[in-house]
Amino acid sequence: MAIEILIVDDNPDIRNILNELIIDAGYKTRIAANYNQALSEIDKKMPDVAILDVKLDKGDNDGIELLTHIKSKNKDVPVIIITGHANIEMAVNSLKHGAFEFVEKPFDQARLLNFVGRAVENLSLKSQNKEFESKLFSSYELIGNSKNILNIKEQINKIALTDSRVLINGPSGSGKELIARKIHKNSKRNTKPFVILNGALLDSNKYESELFGEEKANGSISYGALEKSNKGTLLIDQVSEIPLDIQSKILRVLTDQKFKRLNGNYDVNVDVRLICSSSKDLNEEIKIGNFREDLYHRLNVFEINIQSLNERISDIPLLINYFSEKISKSYNIRKLEIDENNSYILNHNWHGNVRELRNLIERIAILQPNTKDKISNIIKESLKTHNFNEKITENSLSVPLKEAREKFEKEYLTIQLKKFNGNISKTANFVGMERSALHRKLKVLGIKEFN
C-alpha cells in the first residue's frame, strides 16, 4: 500500500511545490490549505506522514495545534514542521510536542525529501516492531503444570464460552494480559477487536475521553476504548488506578449499556465484554476508599487469581524451555541451550515474575553466547544474586551449627518440594532419600506437605 502524506500550507505556491516533489518521490498526497481543512482531513483518515506549516489562518501556532491533535490520535505518525517564521523557541516547542523534524523556509528540496524518507522508514520500523510484538505476544501460551496454572486453563475454557465479566488478580508481570487474550481468543468474539486500556498509564485528565471518547467543537469525534472494542473485548488493566468519579460512570455503563461521549448529547449503545485486571487487592482498596464496592461486585462475576512465579517454581523449567524455543525462532537462531535447573534461576526472587524471566531469555538470545558457560555468566550477571549455597551460608553465620543446619535443610527441602510441585516421590529421588524418611524429615522441620 502506497504511503500517503498530508501537506498543509496556506501558501498555494508552497503547496504545489511540495505536492509535485512528494508525488515525484513515489508517495501519494492529500492537501489542505487552512486549519479547518487540515483538521477535516486528519479526522477523515489519518495520514502516514504529515508536513505542517506552523502559521495558518487560525493563529500563530495552529500548526502546533494540528501536531498535538495528530499525536493524540496516533503518536506514531511522523510530523515534519515547516515555517518561514523560525526561531529557536518555536523549534524547541515543536520538537517538544512530538515533531519528527523542524524545517525552515525556504527549504532545500533534497534535504526535505531526506526527512520524508527517514520519516517513512521510522514509521515502517515502528509498524514492523508492533506487528512482531503483537504476533509474538498473542501467540504465547499459558505455560506451566502447577496447580495454579492448570486451574486457570480450566477456568479459561469455561469462562470463554460466556459473555460474563472477569476480574484477573495477580502481581505485575505474572501474565494477566495473556489470560485476558486467551479468554478473548477462545470466545465467540474472537474475530472482533481486543482493546487494552491501562489505568496506570493514563493522564488523570484523560480518563474520560480515553474511555468514552469526545465530541470536539469543530464537529470531529475522537472515539474511546468502549466504542473501539464494540462487539469485542475491552481489557481495563490496573483497574484499581481508575479515579472514583470515572468508576461511577463505568458502573452506569454496566447498568444501562450506553453512555455519552465527553461533550456529547446523544447516547451511544455498545456491546462489549469487559475484563479487568489488578495487581492490587481490590478489597483493601475498597477499605481505604480508593475503589467502589458496588463496581467491584459488578466486575467480579468470575475471578481468576494467578500466583507470582516464586509461588510456582515448578513452572520455571517449563517456561525456560518454552521461551528458549520461542525466542530463538523469533531471532532465527539455534535454540538456546539453557540449563532448566540452573540454581541462579530457580533461587532468584522473581519480582518481575514471568515477564522478567522472558526478558532474561531474550537478553541471552540477543547476545547469542556460543557456550553454556557464557550463558551461565550472562544469567549470573543479569540476576545479580548469590547462588543458593552462598545465601544460606551468609544467613547462617550468626547462629549455632545445629540451627544453621536445620535452617539450611528447611529452605533446601522447601525449594525442592516447590520445584517438583509437591511430589514427594520425585523430591525424595532428587535429594537421595527414601519417601518415608523424607516424610519424617518434613514433619520434624515443620514443612507443610502439599499436593
Whether the CB-CB separation of 360 and 379 falls below 8 Å is answered with yes
Q: 252-278 pLDDT, tens per residue?
A: 999 888 999 998 888 999 999 999 999
Predicted confidence at residue 273, as pLDDT, reads: 95
Q: 221-230 pLDDT, tens per residue?
A: 888 899 999 9
Average model confidence (pLDDT) for the chain? Answer: 84
Q: 134-146 pLDDT, tens per residue?
A: 554 456 789 999 9
Whether the CB-CB separation of 308 and 350 falls below 8 Å is answered with yes
Q: 14-52 pLDDT, tens per residue?
A: 999 999 999 999 999 999 999 899 988 988 888 999 999
Q: 180-219 pLDDT, tens per residue?
A: 999 999 999 998 889 999 888 777 778 888 999 988 776 6
* Nearest-angstrom CA–CA distance, 446 and 411: 11
* Per-residue CA distances from 14 to 7, 51, 119 (Å): 10, 11, 20
Predicted confidence at residue 232, as pLDDT, reads: 93
How far the first Cα of the chain sits from its last, in Å, is 56
**What is the longest distance spanned by two Cα atoms in the chain?**
92
* Per-residue CA distances from 335 to 340, 371, 378, 387 (Å): 13, 12, 16, 25
The mean per-residue pLDDT over the stretch 57-83 comes to 83
DSSP output for 117-166: HHHHHHHHHHHHHHHHHHHHHHT------SHHHHHHHHHHHHHTTS---E
- Domains parsed from the chain with CATH numbers: 4-134 (3.40.50.2300), 144-307 (3.40.50.300), 314-376 (1.10.8.60), 389-445 (1.10.10)
Whether the CB-CB separation of 177 and 277 falls below 8 Å is answered with yes
The mean per-residue pLDDT over the stretch 120-127 comes to 77
Predicted confidence at residue 430, as pLDDT, reads: 75
Q: Is the pLDDT of residue 295 over 60?
A: yes
Q: 393-436 pLDDT, tens per residue?
A: 444 445 566 666 677 777 778 777 877 778 888 888 877 778 88
* CB contact set of 100 (below 8 Å; sequence gap of 6+): 78, 79, 80, 115, 118, 119, 122
Say which range, 109-113, 295-299, 364-368, has the weakest mean pLDDT: 364-368
Predicted confidence at residue 386, as pLDDT, reads: 41
Q: What residues form DSSP beta bridges with 32?
A: 8
Predicted confidence at residue 394, as pLDDT, reads: 45
Q: What percent of the chain has pLDDT over 90?
A: 38
Q: Is the pLDDT of residue 59 over 70?
A: no
Q: Give helix 62-73 / helix 88-96 axis angle, nearest 10°.
A: 20
Predicted confidence at residue 432, as pLDDT, reads: 75
Q: 369-400 pLDDT, tens per residue?
A: 878 888 888 888 888 644 444 444 444 445 56
Predicted confidence at residue 299, as pLDDT, reads: 95
- pLDDT higher at 32 or 346: 32
Element at 210 (helix H, strand E): helix 207-212
